[in-house]
Structure formats: structure tokens, C-alpha cells
């Protein structure tokens, strides 16, 4: 009887301790030379969604496309939800970027400043508009994701 109780107690402890740890997320993304995907979420102050969208397409999307031409990024996708959710779970735009590998996804791009100067010669206007884009941003978070669909 003691052995049965000990085994049951061990299982309960294992489920309580290891269960949540194992269930917290997907396994890590592939190897060092495998594509690496990150979702970037933007929650905008109410009433400023279109302004944010316009500024994003004017001042950030061209930079992403320029960086993509270097091979650093494999794919860029911009999405907005079709319906609204609760305020706690609300996001207005999701930008999903698939990078060539995890190292390129997590290190600074040495060409970015040069690209910005090339794409926007009027740096004063660019900086003001980027400042405005961030002023109307209520929240932003980045979420590396792993596809776990069986093949």
C-alpha cells in the first residue's frame, strides 16, 4: 500500500512540476542554418490605426523590403485581425518575418542606417514621422514562433 501511495504521490508531483514546464511552449526552432520566424505585434491607441498603418507602410515597410533584398529575410507578411477582441488581447497589426537563420534574426543589421539614409534623404521628416508612429503605439511585442505541424 505504501508503494502504491508513493507511486501516486510521485506521479502527482511530476505532473504538477514537469507538466506545466513541458506544456509551456513549442520545441525550439530548427538548427543554426534553418529559417527562423518572428511575429511582431503592434497595438495602436484607439482611433490611430489608419495613421499607424500609413506611417508603417511609408517609413518601415520599405526598409524591411530593402533588407529582404540582401537575403537576410526570406519572407515578410503583414496582417490585421478581421474582428476585435477584448482589450487585453487586442492587437492591430502583426508582421511576420521569416529570417534566413536565427543569428540574422537576433543580431543588428550593419547596413540598416545606410539603408535608412538612402531610402529617406529627408532625415528630419523621416525621424518626425517615426517618432509619431511610436507615439501612437500603445504596445509592441515580438514572439519567435516554431511550426510544429506534423509532416
Is position 93 within any domain? yes
Is position 18 within any domain? no
Distance CA 90, CA 6 (A): 46
Is position 5 within any domain? no
Is position 151 within any domain? no
CATH of the domain at 120: 3.30.70.100
Phi and psi for 41 in degrees, rounded to 5?
-105, 140
Specify whether the CB–CB gap between 137 and 44 falls below 8 A.
yes
Count of domains forming the chain = 1
Mean model confidence pLDDT for the chain? 86
21 vs 142, more confident: 142
Q: What is the pLDDT of residues 16-68, one digit of tens each?
A: 444 443 344 444 566 778 999 999 999 999 999 999 999 999 999 999 999 99
Is position 15 within any domain? no
102: domain range?
30-145
Is position 134 within any domain? yes
pLDDT grade for 109, boundaries at 50, 70 and 90? very high
Amino acid at each position: 500500500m505504501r508503494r502504491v501511495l508513493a507511486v501516486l504521490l510521485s506521479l502527482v508531483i511530476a505532473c504538477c512540476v514537469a507538466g506545466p514546464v513541458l506544456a509551456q511552449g513549442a520545441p525550439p526552432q530548427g538548427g543554426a542554418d534553418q529559417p527562423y520566424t518572428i511575429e511582431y505585434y503592434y497595438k495602436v491607441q484607439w482611433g490611430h490605426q489608419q495613421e499607424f498603418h500609413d506611417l508603417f507602410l511609408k517609413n518601415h515597410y520599405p526598409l524591411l523590403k530593402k533588407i529582404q533584398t540582401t537575403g537576410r529575410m526570406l519572407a515578410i507578411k503583414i496582417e490585421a485581425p478581421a474582428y476585435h477582441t477584448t482589450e487585453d488581447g487586442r492587437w492591430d497589426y502583426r508582421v511576420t518575418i521569416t529570417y534566413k537563420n536565427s543569428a540574422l534574426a537576433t543580431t543588428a543589421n550593419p547596413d540598416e542606417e545606410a539603408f535608412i539614409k538612402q531610402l529617406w534623404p529627408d532625415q528630419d521628416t523621416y525621424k518626425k514621422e517615426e517618432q509619431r508612429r511610436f507615439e501612437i503605439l500603445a504596445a509592441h511585442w515580438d514572439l519567435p514562433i516554431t511550426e510544429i505541424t506534423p509532416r
